[in-house]
Amino acid sequence: MTSTDAAGRAPDPAPGLASRAGLLRAPVDPATVRAVALLAVGTVWLASAGTVVWVLVLVSSALVPALGLGLVALGVTLPAARAFAAVERARLAAQTGVVVPAPTPALPGLPRSWAGLRATLRDGRAWAAAAYALVGLLVSLAFLVVVVACAAGAVALVVVAARGGVGSAAGEAGLAWPVALVLGAVGAALLVWLGAAVAQAGGGLVLWLAQACLGPSAADLARARARDAEDDAEAARERAVVLSETRSQAVAAADAERRRIERDLHDGAQQRLVALGVELGVARRLAERDPAATAAALEHAHDEVKATLAELRDLVRGIHPAILDDRGLDAALSALAARSPVPVRVEAGAGLERAGSAAQAAAYFVVAEALTNVAKHADARSARVRADVTDDGARLRVVVEDDGRGGAEPAPGSGLAGLRGRVAALDGRFDLTSPPGAGTRLTVEVPCAS
């Protein structure tokens, strides 16, 4: 049986039997009211429709030896038992909030062939529903009688006490009138508590019978578990394939990044350092003969040093921006926006510091690449960057939007493709929407624990 209340918990049909506190509040517990209503309505319903069902099934079974006429009758009454079970499950859900799952569906309609009749006769859930119609009636009626008897006894004690009967009874028993009055009140209270506990127990038993007879069979549950296990295995296999692909993409991206760093060092900083060495050598040779040329050479060398430092800073920023560690993701995104030639509005939500360093670095590079594409290809007038943590606090989300010409595609080897691989390696989500002429929207989510 499955059901949930407003807090997502399954309601307990008999809290008075689960704990001492539940037993103490049983007379005023809403579960007791639901249980009494369940027993009362169930007794009437099962005494009418339920009796028709199990009597028809019983009579049809008795007619089987009479030239097989009962087999044809069972072909009609067993589907009727199925229909009765569906109505009973709906009644239980409406009265108690407890939902009994439907069993495996039967064949639609009445059997029209011997194979269909044989399948109907082998429908164990229909036979169980017919049995429930009888057993449920007996259980509901028995518990309802006890509950009514307890309530009647409690009312009788109260009435007798109010009319002074306790005094005369006390005199006959040799008890003082106040003592007899207290004993009568205690007896009435005990009967009320007993009736509440019996009502909850009866309601719980009826729901248990409904689960056993009207819900899925053990074989159905076993098949469902097998299907779930197969689905989980298939999902695990697909996940393994995805992880293998993302791992390959991450390795390829790391290799490409290594080659880029090597190329930038070789073509940029290394060449400038070589030129700087030449300039310093020239300055040393001219130091005594031509002070003016020496000063010019040193000035040029100084410019080369500044340019080299700038290139190294850009290179280091491409590996891991120091501003992330120093001032956080909000400041790092604002710095990217400030360097963009396209006006960019940055919106940072609360809680960004909860994201791990890898998640923040991924968000930074996503925004950096996206803003670079906006400046180079989008022909946009403005862009917006929004970073926040999802409501459950588990994922860091970054959205980059522009009002450019759209049509962006993460083609193999492109910067967007590299970003997709970086995000996939962190078990993140990469979503690019870029209809032609309608701007581009890039949404990335990565686990905060990354």
Q: What is the mean pLDDT of the chain?
A: 78
> What is the pLDDT, as a whole number, of residue 238?
78
Highest mean pLDDT among 15-19, 167-171, 253-257: 15-19
For the beta carbon of residue 221, count every other beta carbon within 10 angstroms: 13
The encoded tokens of residue 239 equal: 């996940």
Parallel/antiparallel/unpaired status of strands 429-433 and 440-447: antiparallel
> What is the pLDDT, as a whole number, of residue 116?
67
For the beta carbon of residue 47, count every other beta carbon within 10 angstroms: 14
Q: pLDDT digits over 91-116, tens only? A: 998 888 888 888 877 655 555 666 76
Q: Confidence band (pLDDT; 50, 70, 90) for 431?
A: confident
> What is the pLDDT, as a whole number, of residue 246?
63
Alpha-carbon distances of 322 from 8, 48, 257, 317, 361, rounded to whole Å: 45, 79, 18, 7, 10
Does position 314 have pLDDT exceeding 70, yes or no?
no
Does position 353 have pLDDT exceeding 90, yes or no?
no
Q: Confidence band (pLDDT; 50, 70, 90) for 11?
A: low
> What is the pLDDT, as a whole number, of residue 268?
59
> What is the pLDDT, as a whole number, of residue 429?
86
Mapping DSSP onto H, E and C, the string for the chain reads: CECCCCCCCCCCCCHHHCCHHHHHCHHHCHHHHHHHHHHHHHHHHHHHHHHHHHHHHHHHHHCCCCCCHHHHHHHHHHHHHHHHHHHHHHHHHHHHCCECCCCCCCCCCCCCCHHHHHHHHCCHHHHHHHHHHHHHHHHHHHHHHHHHHHHHHHHHHHHHHHCCHHHHHHHHHCCCHHHHHHHHHHHHHHHHHHHHHHHHHHHHHHHHHHHHHHCCCHHHHHHHHHHHHHHHHHHHHHHHHHHHHHHHHHHHHHHHHHHHHHHHHHHHHHHHHHHHHHHHHHHHHHCCCCHHHHHHHHHHHHHHHHHHHHHHHHHHHHHCCHHHHHHHHHHHHHHHHHHCCCCEEEEECCCHHHCCHHHHHHHHHHHHHHHHHHHHHHCCCCEEEEEEECCCCCEEEEEEEECCCCCCCCCCCCHHHHHHHHHHHCCCEEEEECCCCCCEEEEEEEECCC
Spatial distance between the Cα atoms of 127 and 399, rounded to a whole number of angstroms: 58
Tell me the pTM: 0.51
Distance of CA 136 to the CA centre of its chain: 36
> What is the pLDDT, as a whole number, of residue 7?
43
> What is the pLDDT, as a whole number, of residue 46?
92
Please identify which residue in the block is written with the tokens 């360093």: 357
Range with lowest mean pLDDT among 12-26, 41-55, 202-216, 359-373: 12-26
429, 396 contact by CB (below 8 A): no
Q: Indicate the angle between helix axes 30-45 and 69-96, nearest 10 degrees.
A: 160
Spatial distance between the Cα atoms of 346 and 302, rounded to a whole number of angstroms: 37
Sign of the dihedral through C-alpha 184, 189, 195, 198: negative
Residue 348 sits at φ, ψ, to 5 deg, of -115, 125
Residue positions counted in the chain: 450
- Identify residue 120 by its one-letter amino acid code: T
Residues 42-57, mean pLDDT to the nearest whole number: 90
Does position 339 have pLDDT exceeding 90, yes or no?
no
> What is the pLDDT, as a whole number, of residue 177?
53
> What is the pLDDT, as a whole number, of residue 341?
86
> What is the pLDDT, as a whole number, of residue 245?
67
Q: pLDDT digits over 188-236, tens only? A: 788 888 888 899 899 999 999 998 898 887 777 777 778 878 877 787 7
Q: pLDDT digits over 359-412, tens only? A: 888 888 888 888 888 888 888 888 999 998 887 878 889 999 998 888 887 777
CATH fold, domain 323-447, is Heat Shock Protein 90 (3.30.565)
Residue 163 sits at φ, ψ, to 5 deg, of -90, 5
The encoded tokens of residue 179 equal: 């003592």
> What is the pLDDT, as a whole number, of residue 68?
67
Spatial distance between the Cα atoms of 195 and 153, rounded to a whole number of angstroms: 10
For the beta carbon of residue 187, count every other beta carbon within 10 angstroms: 16
Non-local (6+) Cβ contacts of 311 within 8 A are 264, 268, 269, 272
Residues 120-130, mean pLDDT to the nearest whole number: 84
- Identify residue 123 by its one-letter amino acid code: D
Does position 174 have pLDDT exceeding 50, yes or no?
no
Q: Confidence band (pLDDT; 50, 70, 90) for 40?
A: very high
Residues 417-437, mean pLDDT to the nearest whole number: 81
> What is the pLDDT, as a whole number, of residue 80?
86
Does position 139 have pLDDT exceeding 90, yes or no?
yes
Does position 183 have pLDDT exceeding 60, yes or no?
yes
Highest mean pLDDT among 58-67, 135-144, 283-292: 135-144
Q: Which residue has the higher pLDDT, 414 or 232?
A: 232
